[in-house]
Amino acid sequence: AQSVTQLGSHVSVSEGALVLLRCNYSSSVPPYLFWYVQYPNQGLQLLLKYTSAATLVKGINGFEAEFKKSETSFHLTKPSAHMSDAAEYFCAVSLNTGANSKLTFGKGITLSVRP
């Protein structure tokens, strides 16, 4: 079984400030980890994914995340926030077994960016 914990439901930063969105996971086998972004009334767009290659993963729109096995974490960061980054962000985990690859999502974090 696998699960994801995203602490806090809302993060607010100033434009140009560092973005840090936290994600901790639980998995009985080595996981695949994902960050998705969702804009209002839209589906989910993949930001980046960890698939047991490099532990520091770079994604689209300047986001990156670091897989830390010892901390069971996969936090999302961006050095400088932009107004267009305001959205909801979901961390997700799936099993690295080749079987059903369903995603298990966290509850999501709403990111607000202040001018």
Do residues 88 and 110 make contact, with C-beta atoms less than 8 angstroms apart? yes
Q: Which amino acid is at 11?
A: V
Integer Cα distance of 87 and 11 in angstroms:
10
Interface residue with other proteins among 41, 56, 70, 84 (CB under 8 A) is 41
25 binds other proteins (CB under 8 A): no
Interface residue with other proteins among 72, 77, 96, 112 (CB under 8 A) is 96
Integer Cα distance of 66 and 87 in angstroms:
21
Site stretch for other proteins (CB under 8 A), options 17-25, 63-71, 76-84, 97-105: 97-105
Integer Cα distance of 74 and 7 in angstroms:
12
Residue with tokens 């926030």: 81
Least distance (Å) from other proteins to the CB of residue 102?
Answer: 4
Which positions from 65 through 84 interact with other proteins, judged by CB under 8 A? none
Contact residues for other proteins, defined by CB under 8 A: 4, 9, 32, 34, 36, 41-46, 49, 51, 90, 92, 94-96, 98, 100-108
